[in-house]
A = this chain, B = another copy of it.
Amino acid sequence: MSSLSSAPYKGTRDYYPADKRRQNYIFGVWARMAKRFGYEEYGAPLLEPLEVYTAKSGQELVGEQTYRFTDRGDRDVVIRPEMTPSISRMVAAKRQELAYPARWFSIANFMRYERPQRGREREFWQLNVDMFGADGVQADAEIISLGFETMKAFGAKPDMYVIKLNSRKVIDAMMHDYLGLDPIQAPLMVKLFDRKNKISNEAFRDQAIEIFGTEQAKEGLSKIAQLLLAKEIENLPKEIAENPAVEELHQLFSILKGRGVTNATFDITLMRGFDYYTGTVFEFFDTHPDNNRAMFGGGRYDGLVGLFGAEPLSAVGMAPGLSMTELFLDSHGLMPEFTSTTEVYVAVLGDALPGASTLTARLRDEGVNTELDITGRKIDRQIKTAVKKQIPYVLFVGEEELKNETYNLKDTHTGDEETLSFERLVTRVKDRRHKHSTDVDELFE
Contact = CB atoms under 8 A, between A and B. Distances in A.
Interface of A: 1, 3-10, 12-17, 19-21, 23-24, 28, 35-49, 51-52, 55, 67, 69-73, 75, 77, 79, 89-90, 92-94, 99-101, 103-104, 109, 111, 113, 123, 134, 138-139, 142, 149, 258-260, 306-310, 340-342, 345, 353-354, 357, 361, 364, 367-372, 374-375, 384-385, 388-389, 391, 433, 440-445
Nearest to A47: B9
A165 to B, nearest CB: 18
A309 B38 contact: no
A46 B123 contact: yes
A89 B142 CA distance: 44
A89 B6 contact: yes
Nearest to A131: B374
A429 to B, nearest CB: 12
A367 B35 CA distance: 10
A357 B141 CA distance: 11
Contacts of A79: 46, 79
Given A41-B24, A371-B38, A307 B4 contact: yes
Given A310-B6, A441-B445, A12 B375 contact: no
| Copies in the assembly, this chain | 2
A93 to B, nearest CB: 4
A100 B388 CA distance: 9
B372 A142 contact: yes
A366 B388 CA distance: 38
A230 to B, nearest CB: 30
A426 to B, nearest CB: 13
Contact of A109 (B46, B354, B440): B46
A75 B10 contact: yes
A138 B353 contact: yes
A1 B55 CA distance: 10
A370 B36 contact: yes
A433 B35 CA distance: 14
Given A93-B7, A442-B444, A374 B42 contact: no
A394 B46 CA distance: 36
Contact of A72 (B94, B113, B443): B113
Contacts of A42: 14-17, 20
A260 B362 CA distance: 12
A64 B197 CA distance: 47
Contact of A374 (B1, B142, B441): B142
Listed residue (A14, A52, A67) with the most chain B CB atoms within 10 angstroms of its CB: A14
A219 to B, nearest CB: 37
Contacts of A306: 3
Nearest to A68: B69
Listed residue (A42, A139, A370) with the most chain B CB atoms within 10 angstroms of its CB: A42
A9 B77 CA distance: 8
A99 B386 CA distance: 8
A124 B77 CA distance: 17
Contact of A6 (B35, B103, B308): B308
Nearest to A89: B6
Nearest to A386: B99
The 7 closest A-B pairs by CB, nearest first: A38-B371, A15-B43, A69-B69, A12-B45, A3-B309, A99-B388, A6-B93
17 contacts: A4-B309, A9-B47, A9-B77, A12-B47, A14-B93, A16-B94, A17-B42, A35-B342, A36-B364, A38-B372, A40-B341, A41-B341, A46-B111, A69-B69, A69-B70, A101-B385, A258-B354
A369 B444 contact: no
Given A14-B93, A37-B370, A375 B103 contact: no
B17 A370 contact: no
Contacts of A385: 99-101
Nearest to A38: B371
Given A6-B93, A14-B43, 18 more contacts: A4-B52, A6-B89, A6-B90, A6-B308, A9-B75, A9-B77, A13-B45, A14-B44, A15-B42, A28-B444, A35-B341, A36-B364, A37-B371, A38-B369, A38-B370, A40-B340, A40-B341, A443-B444
